[in-house]
Amino acid sequence: MKSLRARISLWFALSATITLAVLFAVGYLLLESHMQRDLDLLNKTEFEQIRARLGTDYGALTPQIVDQRIHETADYASVLFYVNIDEPPHDMLFYSNNLDGKPIPDVPGKHIYNAFVPGVGELRVGEFIMPPFDVTIGTPTRQMRQDLTAYVEVCIALLVIMLLTSGLIGIVTSRLILRPVRLIGETANRIRSDNLAERIAVPGGKDEIFDLVRLLNQMFDRLEASFKQARQFSEEVSHELKTPLSLVRLHAERLLVEGKLERRQEDAVLVQLDELARINQMIDELLFISRAEVNGVTLNLINQHPGHFLRSVEPDLHALVEHRGRRLRCVQHGDGLVAMEEKWLRQVIFNLLTNALRVSPPNGLITMTSIVADGSWCVSTEDEGPGLTDEQCERVFDRFVRFNVRAGEDQGSGLGLTICRSIIELHGGSIRAQPRGGELGLRVSFSLPVATVVESSYAMGQPLLGT
């Protein structure tokens, strides 16, 4: 069982039931022993009556006289007792009528034991010595066995009730016990990179939960401090780098303007300017990500139609795809109003399309699907590239992570999908990557909440962009 509450409930129910079962088993043995002692006492009492009936001169009595003196006593108690008297090593002197001539079995070395007599059943037997006679008296154990069976049946019923009751009690108790842990989990789940200031409420008492909460809060304090230091370092370094990079770019451009460089030197300076532009772009991207993580980016959200938005970016998307020798198909389903800032979502669309173009084969088809349904606007981009594994799909949005990079290809910054995730989360949406089902390629999709669903002004499945 994965649930700790379920395991605690089960353990409690089983331990309580097993404990009760052990107590019932011990009670069974004690009850059986007590009832056997009562039967032994009855046998002894009957023997005392027989000895008194025989008198003090029993040693000189003939078998006929022995039978005559005991007969009345034995018949009177025939419902409860079975009696036989013998004189070792001679034959049996007396049988009670209820034995029907069948002797009570003798167990050598034992004077109190259980024996089975055919036609009679199980007897609790007591053997008493009256030299030269052996008096054997048996009492039926049928009633004792019935009482013990009834005891077992009651115990089984009580065990079932105990199991159900203790299970219910275990569920309630475990819920109360684990409530602080559940609250800790809920609070810890809310503490993320953009919400590091929240802390877990410290419960009353100085128990283990108190110590756990205190240690977790201390860990979150250290984590918040580390995040702040990392962000501060990133922002400060980015700002500090911009000035010297701008100066380097200025001097490089001045060298080109003066025209005093040889052709080979001019090419080297142009390469430097390209690299400087790439570094500046990376710095801007890092600054944006750092600000987005602390909600430092303010969006100007305006309700727009997804179809209108896609039609507005159609010319640029189409031109980009044709320039790279690929094919594009975009389909819109449904319509509504989505709160968005166009320039940021435009960047997301172009980042996703650029990644798809990078891995798509020549003349490959890239499919962009826009669906407004169930209160959300979902946009997915599918390519025909090599795709990613499930593990790679989990990491593809991390900083500086790149997969399927071809030899000689521009490495890029590895921040494009990270920026896409930041922009989508700022819009209150989510983004994910997953392999295309049963095919090569990758599907990257994001979804945003729909402010208002309206009647579609586009035909269902009508392509918005050329193929």
Query: If you ran DSSP here, which 8-state letter would residue 101 be given?
Result: T
Domain shared by 27 and 142, yes or no? yes
* Whole-number pLDDT of residue 161: 94
Domain shared by 59 and 106, yes or no? yes
Domain count, the chain: 3
Tell me the pLDDT of the chain (467 aa) as tens digits: 567 788 888 888 999 999 999 999 999 999 999 999 999 999 999 888 888 877 777 666 666 777 777 776 666 666 788 888 887 766 677 778 888 888 888 888 899 999 999 888 999 999 998 887 888 999 999 999 999 999 999 999 999 999 999 989 988 888 888 888 888 888 877 777 667 777 877 777 677 778 888 888 888 888 878 777 766 766 666 667 777 878 888 888 888 887 777 888 888 888 888 888 878 877 777 777 777 776 667 788 899 998 889 888 888 888 899 888 999 988 888 888 999 999 889 999 999 999 899 888 899 899 999 999 888 999 999 998 888 888 888 888 888 788 877 655 555 667 888 889 989 988 889 999 998 876 678 999 999 999 765 554 443 334 454 44
The answer to whether residue 254 sits within a structural domain is yes
* Whole-number pLDDT of residue 445: 93
The answer to whether residue 155 sits within a structural domain is no
* Whole-number pLDDT of residue 180: 80
Domain shared by 310 and 273, yes or no? no
The answer to whether residue 439 sits within a structural domain is yes
Asked if residue 448 lies in contact with residue 427, where contact means CB atoms within 8 angstroms, the answer is yes
Domain shared by 243 and 334, yes or no? no
Q: Which of 293, 311, 327 lies at the terminal end of a domain, its last residue?
A: 293
* Whole-number pLDDT of residue 438: 66
The answer to whether residue 336 sits within a structural domain is yes
Domain shared by 319 and 437, yes or no? yes
Q: Which of 232, 264, 293 lies at the terminal end of a domain, its last residue?
A: 293
* Whole-number pLDDT of residue 239: 66
Domain shared by 319 and 451, yes or no? yes
Amino acid (1-letter code) at residue 237: V
The answer to whether residue 156 sits within a structural domain is no
User: What is d(CA 383, CA 329) in angstroms, rounded to the nearest whole number?
Assistant: 11
Q: What is the CATH number of the domain that holds 94?
A: 3.30.450
* Whole-number pLDDT of residue 238: 66
Q: Which pair of tokens denotes residue 213? A: 């909460």
User: What is d(CA 244, CA 154) in angstroms, rounded to the nearest whole number?
Assistant: 90
* Whole-number pLDDT of residue 76: 67
Strand runs labelled E in 112-262: 112-117, 121-130, 133-140
Q: Which of 127, 146, 165 lies at the terminal end of a domain, its last residue?
A: 146
Domain shared by 310 and 269, yes or no? no
The answer to whether residue 169 sits within a structural domain is no
Domain shared by 122 and 246, yes or no? no
Domain shared by 250 and 333, yes or no? no
Domain that holds residue 16: 4-146
Degrees to nearest 5, angle at CA 259 with 257 and 263: 120
The answer to whether residue 229 sits within a structural domain is yes
* Whole-number pLDDT of residue 463: 47
Domain shared by 286 and 313, yes or no? no
The answer to whether residue 159 sits within a structural domain is no
Domain shared by 280 and 334, yes or no? no
Contact residues for 90 (Cβ-Cβ < 8 A; gap 6+)? none
Residue 271 burial by Cβ neighbours in a 10 Å radius (0-12, 13-18, 19+)? exposed
Domain shared by 114 and 134, yes or no? yes
Q: What is the CATH number of the domain that holds 286?
A: 1.10.287.130
Asked if residue 368 lies in contact with residue 333, where contact means CB atoms within 8 angstroms, the answer is no
Q: What is the CATH number of the domain that holds 457?
A: 3.30.565.10
